């Protein structure tokens, strides 16, 4: 299970607050600048993958601050995965 959140750059500290939650912090998380993914500027995307309970906890924590799931969650997730794969291939070339 996963969720992607779109957080305005001026509210970046909210991502850190959510990451400080014990349950959420034990999941797989990624933070990406929207511009680096070829998407909206001035936003950060926060991806959390893991247990249903942890993803629901992240939803709860963000919604308390008025931040909902990103409408383009699937597109963001694919862009992050593509970036991660490219980085892994680069490391393989260096150390392979």
Which one of 2.60.40, 3.30.390, 1.10.10, 3.30.70 gives the CATH number of domain 2-95? 3.30.70
For the chain, domain boundaries = 2-95
Q: Report angle CA 10, 7, 62 to the nearest 5 degrees.
A: 115
Read off the tokens for 36. 């680096």
Rounded CA-CA distance 59/55 in Å is 6
Q: What is the pTM of this model?
A: 0.89
DSSP-derived secondary structure letter, 43: E
Q: What is the pLDDT of residues 29-63, one digit of tens each?
A: 999 999 999 999 999 999 999 999 999 999 999 99
3-state secondary structure of 26: coil
Q: Dmax over Cα atoms in the chain, in whole Å? A: 46
* Position 93 pLDDT exceeds 60: no
The rounded Cα 32 to chain-centroid distance in angstroms is: 6
């Amino acid at each position: 299970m996963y969720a992607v959140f779109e957080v305005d750059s001026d509210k970046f500290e909210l991502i850190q607050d959510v990451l400080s939650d014990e349950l959420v912090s034990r999941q797989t998380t990624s933070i990406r600048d929207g511009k680096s993914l070829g998407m909206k500027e001035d936003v950060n995307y926060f991806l959390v993958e893991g247990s249903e309970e942890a993803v629901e906890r992240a939803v709860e924590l963000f919604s308390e601050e008025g931040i909902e799931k990103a409408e383009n969650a699937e597109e963001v997730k694919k862009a992050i995965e593509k970036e991660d794969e490219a980085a892994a291939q680069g490391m393989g070339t260096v150390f392979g």
